[in-house]
Structure formats: structure tokens, C-alpha cells
Chain A
Amino acid sequence: MSERRILLGNEAIARGVVESGCAVATAYPGTPSSEILPAIAAYSDEMGTNTQVEWGANEKVALEMAIGACYAGKRSCAVMKQVGLNVAADPFMSVAHQKLDGGLLVVVSDDPGCHASQDDQDSRAYAAAAKIPCFDPSDAREAKAMVADAFDLADRYGVMAMLRPTVRVDHCRQDVEIMDDVVSQKDAVFDRKPAGKRIVMPAVIHGFLDDHSDRFEAIRGEFGAMDRYNFEVPSEEPAKLGVIACGISYSVVRDILNRLGRKDVSILKIGTPVPLPVNLVEDFVDRHDRVLILEETQPVVEGQIPNRTAVMGRWNGWVPKTGELVPEVVESLLLRALGVEEDLSDREVFNKIEEELSPEKRRPRLCPGCSHRPAYFSIRKVFPDAVVASDIGCYGLAIAQNAVDTNICMGGSVTAASGIYLAFKADGKGTDRPIFATLGDSTFFHSGMTGLATAVYNRHAFVLVILDNRITAMTGGQDHPGTGDKMRSGEEGVSVSIEEAVKGCGVKWLSVLDPYDIEKNKKTIEKAWEHASSNREPAVIVFRHPCITMLKVKPEYRPVKVDPSACIGCGLCIRDFNCPGLVWDQATGKAMVDDRYCVNCGVCVAVCPKGAIVPEGGDR
């Protein structure tokens, strides 16, 4: 039985995973991949499979769990985003070289254009470095089909396979065919023979390497014959231009050619970029005078073409070296390659319109009512000159209130604070300037604990602030060890205590506060730094308040207004507190509450030095 449903790309991938008989699926949430694992849980329930779904505390943990399941002979799958693969790179590279029993699939979502990421790295390059096969889907339907083929390939060759969707595939919505059947799987067994098969040590690995290379070449041959993913769309008229299109770029270029009504461009679609079916590509290049290569984000396909003299791509700078290939960019590349002058007159008009009407620019910032805002505000209030290291998570958005100074990666705030302290210490000024590290609850479990243990051990003086909003908020509200809740209803987890973990790391000074209570918290912040600096060791503050957008209970209703007679228009509340619910009134030159965004949390009352923000009273 089959049925057509509108699915998110990530749901299509999840459906493919469950239909493929995957027994264990793991992940750490990261946009654009976050919806995949919960959807696996939902489809598993719908289809009555007993698929085990687990969040790992980080991507390395998630991948290693999937590897373990695969060692026991089951199909397994680990899901993450591109920067998450960096965290998991260690087991990823090692296991790539082993001959596996079950089929292992890693799904890594890339984010060309950096919509929700700190870089635009291309995971296909990781696949190439590890010599594992990679599938690069062009839409949700294809992504689902590729999951089935990737598992099949992984099974037959005993390799780890990669599915590498990009953000536009993950977050496209498309009608997709789904099935009721599930590929059946063998029972879990752990075969101890031959001895040493799953051991990584030099003497054993040497024997694997040639075999690994041979498998890679055999898969290249299979990819050359996979004409459902690698195929030519010939031009209807003699071709003026050939386009090699990978992933979502294939879908984009087809729409544009239809729109322009061009029938003189032929396309070679490549859905399996690693290992590249080189013969297909060379043949296509030979038959066209000029070939444009469209791929996101790096020249992974282009770089594998032996003779690149006739191609135009990212490698030789013909295509912009960075960024997303959105339709506007692809169209102008196509026109340029075809020698057509682009009409840019409308662009000038749009510039003029924006100049005249100056629409408000909306930079990402913390939500109205967000508990991180008062936490950061309090730190800055007490120590305006403190160095505040933060990291990846929604609290990093406090950069909009000028409260965040550094941001590297998950867990990087704790260790950056250590480094900053050491730099000052090297000058003999270790504790002259307050140092704060801030990170979220999920991030603390992800990779904050290791940094904290290091800081305690080495006696680094800084205050670690754990912004515990009881959820992994940035990626859409996933659970983690701290919440103890599991994604499947009916499954019960255990909550790991942040306080106990902090104490277990050897921290002697710890305080738990409600960030909403700005006045009360200032004293504790002072004391924390005093302890850290005088004892030369980390002190920890846990600011605990549930995420406003994911509250499980109704928040208190505390509406506010700005008293125009008291407001002197200093702008502090807008600049340093930066709640979308507080806006500037051009007419009066004073602050006012914008009822469209204000969630009536009442926190900003403590912010105005003139006491101009006042409770309004009244009922909901």
C-alpha cells in the first residue's frame, strides 16, 4: 500500500529510515537536521516497528551508539548537522575504514548560506576524506529513495554511507509517496570472529586499508550505473551549454530553464558526488564546448574531474566561491555562461523603494520574555567591562544587547574563558578583569562538562554561567540529559542534575538563580566573581527559567507600560535590554511598549534607571 502525503524533507528522510528497517537511530539536534529523529520515532510508532530512538549528549556520542548497534548486526543511523560532524569526526574517520556488519548510515545536513550555522563547510568533502559513498538529494522525494539505496549499499559492502541533504532539501515541503512495508532485518548478534575485526590499532588497520580502497572503487562503478540519481536531461535544441548540477541546484536550474524557455541547455545531474562516477562526467564534458558546474558549497565534484580546462565552476572562481546557489544567483550564472546581458533595472527600483520607505532591519535577537536577556543584562550591569565568552545556542543572540564577546562552537565558551584567564595570567594580571563563560543546559552536557573539569583541575578563575531553560531551544525544543524527558511518549528517562554534575567536577561555589529577578541576582553575580578571583578557581551560577516559547505551564501575567513623564529617552532599555516588546517612539523620543510583541513577562520593570517602566496591573 502506498499513499501520498505532504512531508518536510526531514520527515521524508525519517520515513525512509523506518521503511528501510533501521533498528537504532541516534542524533544530536542541529538545524537543519533536527526534525529527522523525532519523525523517526513518530513513524516507528505509526508503522509498529520497534526502532530505538535516542538523543546523544553530542554528535560523537550519537554516532558511537549507532556504530555499536551496527557492530551487533543491525541497520543503524546517526543524524547531525554539518558542524556536528566535526564533533563526531573522530569515530567517523575510524569506522569508515572498518568492514561493518549491519548497514550504517550517517545523515549530515549542510547549511549553504549559513542560515543557522557558523560556517558553510561541505560534508561531501568529509565523505571524500573518509572514502565513503555519499548521496546528495535534490528534493524530498529523492532523499527518501536515497535512504533506501544508501542502506542497501552499506549492507552489501559493509561500509558506512552518507546522506548529505542541504537546508533546502531538509526544509522543503513536498508531496511524497510513502509505503507501509518495512525491510525486514536479522536479529541482533555480536559475532566475535574474526578476532580483531572491530579493533582499531595500527597492526590491524593496515590490512583494512587496501580493502577499503577497493570497495570505494567498486562503489564508484555502481554509482556510474545508478541512472536514477545520475542522468542526463538532454537539450531539445543543439546544446549551447552543458550544466552539471548537484543536489538542490538541479531542481533550481530546471525551474529556471523552464521559466526562461531555454531549450539549448543540457543538464547532467549528479546525485552521488562521492565517489564521483568520473566516466559519466568526462563523457558529458567531452560532448559540450562549455560546461557550468553548480554544486553547494565547495568544488567537491569539480575537484574530482581529471581535466578541468573546459569547465566553469567554483574551483576556478567562475561560480562565487562561497554562499548558497539561490535561483537569482543561478540565473545570472546561466545568463552569463550563455552570453546574455542581464536586465538589472528592477534592482535599482527596489533600492530606491527601500531607501524611501526604510523598512526596519530585523537582526536575530532573543525572544520577548526570554530568560537569557535578564541574565546577560544582570552580568553586564554588575560588570560592564567583563569579558563574556558565549557559544552556539540561542543565548548567543544576546550579542544584539552587546552582552556577548566571543563565540566559537558548542562548549567553546568554558574553554575560551580558560584561555582568556591564562592570557591575563601570563601578564601577571590573572584576576584584574572579570571573566564570564555562558552556555545553555543542553550545551553543558554536549561539551561543557569536559571544559569545566579542565578548568577546575587547572584552577582557572572565571564564572561559568549555565543558562538552564530546560530545553534545547535553538533547534526547536528537543530534550537532553538535563530534562530527562524522552521523545517518545510512554518512554521514561531520568534527569541528570546539572548541580550534581558541577559539584562532581569539583566546583566548590555554586548558586542557582531565577534570571527574571534582576535586582536580587546582582549581589550573587558579584559574589561569584569574588570567589573565583580570590580562590583562583571557577565559580558556577545556574540561571534557571523555562524557555518562554516552550513553557509547559502558563507564565505569570505582568503587563507593563512606559510612563512618558518619567522616561528621559536615554535608550538604555532598547540598547542594553533589547526586548522586541520595547520600541522607540519616534514622535515622542521615548520608549514605549509594543503590544504586538510584548508577552507581559514584567521583567523590564527592573531595567529602567529612572523607574519609567512600570507595572500596569489588570487581568488577562
Chain B
Amino acid sequence: MRIVIVGVGGQGILFSSKVLGEIALRRGEKVVGSEVHGMSQRGGSVISHFKSGDHFGPLVQVGDADVVLAFDTDEAIRNVSFLRPGGTLIVNCDDPARFEAGAMGEYLRDKDIKVLPVDGYGILRERMRGRFLFLNVMILGALVASDSSGLSMEDMESAVADLSPERFRDDNLKALNLGFER
């Protein structure tokens, strides 16, 4: 499994890759990935690569990712090139039309790439009093729902619960389910 997670500093991208790593480790798979540190001040682009199974290097190559998790629409546009034909794009986005029209729509259809838009900010504004820090876990919920990763909700729930700091545990699980049901 090769996943690229993209977004903006402050969105909790590193936590998501930790959760994915924990699940893979519990399944007895090998894990390697790459994080970005420093210069990724809040508001700057962040990208994290995740690979489980038999791989050597930590980076996912362009055209090779099974899934791109995009916490931000602009970052999704910039990094859609990571997806392999038949891959899945899960994107936090309030305007799915951006991925249907024009060169983008054509490319995604051409490569048979599945798109799963989640209006993360909208849902969090409405259901969790605008606490946007739960976006990361919400996207993980959508990842499970997309069926593109072979991850079960039980595995995901227990990894999120175990890795969450105590005071965020319940809200994280709530956000996870919001993402799953979307």
C-alpha cells in the first residue's frame, strides 16, 4: 500500500501517517515512510509519504500511489500526479466540480481514478463547532469508507483511540465516524 498525504501545516498530517503505520505494524507488515519537518509553518505545504509491504525507500514516486489523502483542495490539485491509474483521491473540498471539469476531470477519468470529496470544513463547522483540528481523523474515516485501502473500521478505531491523547480521544472517534458516514 502506497499512500501520499498532502495538506497544510497545522492540519495534523503527521498524526494520520502515525495511525496508518500503527495499523500496518499490528498486521505484521513492514512499514516505511517519510515526513516533512521544519519550514512547514502553519499554512505552508506539507507532504507525508507512507508505504507498507515490501519496499526499500521512504518516498512514493509520481504515478505510483494507491491513494492520495488531500487535506486541502489546492494541495490535491498540485499532487494528483502521485496517483497510479486506478488509484483513489480522497480530498477535503467544498466544490467537487473542480475535480469533474476540464483537464483535471479528463485526466482522472482517463486514468480511472476514483475521487471521494469530503466537505471537511463544512461538516466540522456544523457538527463539531468549527474545531478544524479533527479534520485529519475525519479524512481517515473517509479512507476506510472508500474501500481503497483494505482497512477495516475496527482496526482504524482502535489505532486512533490508542494514539490519541486522552482529551481528544472521544472527539477523534466522533470525527472518524463523521468521515466514514460523510
| A360 contacts B by Cβ under 8 Å | yes
Which residues of chain A are near B81, meaning CB under 8 Å? 346, 350
Q: Is the CB of B41 within 8 A of A357?
A: no
Q: Is the CB of A359 within 8 A of B75?
A: yes
Q: Is the CB of A255 within 8 A of B103?
A: no
Q: Is the CB of A364 within 8 A of B39?
A: yes
| B64 contacts A by Cβ under 8 Å | yes
Q: Is the CB of B42 within 8 A of A252?
A: no
- B32 partner, pick from A4, A139, A356, A597, beta carbons under 8 A: A139
Which residues of chain A are near B66, meaning CB under 8 Å? none
Contact string, A109-144, partner B, CB cutoff 8 A, digits 1/0? 000000110000000000000000000001110000
Q: A116-B39, A328-B61, A359-B78 are in contact. Are A173 and B34 (CB under 8 A)?
A: yes
Q: Is the CB of A397 within 8 A of B41?
A: yes
Report the Cα distance A165→B180, complex, angstroms: 39
Nearest CB of B to A74, in Å? 30
Q: Is the CB of B77 within 8 A of A359?
A: yes
- A394 partner, pick from B33, B41, B57, B77, beta carbons under 8 A: B41
Which residues of chain A are near B77, meaning CB under 8 Å? 353-354, 357, 359
What is the interface size of chain A, counting residues whose CB is below 8 A from a CB of the partner?
58
Task: Choose among A354, A475, A476 the residue with the greatest number of B CB atoms under 10 Å from its CB.
Answer: A354
- A327 partner, pick from B25, B30, B57, beta carbons under 8 A: B57
At the interface with chain B, which of A15-23, A301-309, A365-373?
A: A365-373
Nearest CB of A to B133, in Å? 11
11 pairs, CB–CB < 8 Å, chain A vs chain B: A34-B37, A34-B38, A250-B56, A251-B57, A251-B58, A255-B57, A328-B61, A350-B81, A359-B74, A362-B43, A476-B37
Which residues of chain B are near A349, meaning CB under 8 Å? 103, 107
Q: A8-B35, A173-B32 are in contact. Are A139 and B56 (CB under 8 A)?
A: yes
| A335 contacts B by Cβ under 8 Å | no
| A352 contacts B by Cβ under 8 Å | yes
- B25 partner, pick from A4, A171, A326, beta carbons under 8 A: A4
Q: Is the CB of A357 within 8 A of B98?
A: yes
CB under 8 Å from chain B, chain A span 438-463: none
Which 7 A-B pairs rank lowest in CB-CB distance, beginning with the nearest?
A: A31-B38, A116-B38, A580-B43, A359-B74, A251-B57, A172-B58, A251-B56
What is the interface size of chain B, counting residues whose CB is below 8 A from a CB of the partner?
50
Q: Is the CB of B38 within 8 A of A173?
A: no
| B80 contacts A by Cβ under 8 Å | yes
CB under 8 Å from chain A, chain B span 91-132: 98, 102-104, 107, 121, 130, 132
Q: Is the CB of A31 within 8 A of B104?
A: no
Known interface pairs A31-B39, A173-B18, A359-B77; 16 further A-B residue pairs with C-beta atoms within 8 A, sorted by A's residue number: A6-B18, A173-B17, A173-B58, A174-B33, A175-B31, A248-B58, A252-B59, A255-B56, A331-B61, A350-B81, A359-B74, A368-B43, A474-B39, A476-B37, A476-B38, A549-B42
| A168 contacts B by Cβ under 8 Å | yes
| A517 contacts B by Cβ under 8 Å | no
Q: A326-B59, A353-B103, A353-B107 are in contact. Are A175 and B25 (CB under 8 A)?
A: yes
Q: Is the CB of B41 within 8 A of A356?
A: no
Contact string, A387-409, partner B, CB cutoff 8 A, digits 1/0? 00000001001000000000000
Nearest CB of B to A173, in Å? 4
CB under 8 Å from chain A, chain B span 54-85: 55-64, 73-75, 77-78, 80-81
Q: Report the nearest B residue to A595, measured CB to CB.
A: B130
Which residues of chain A are near B130, meaning CB under 8 Å? 595
Report the Cα distance A474→B44, complex, angstroms: 13
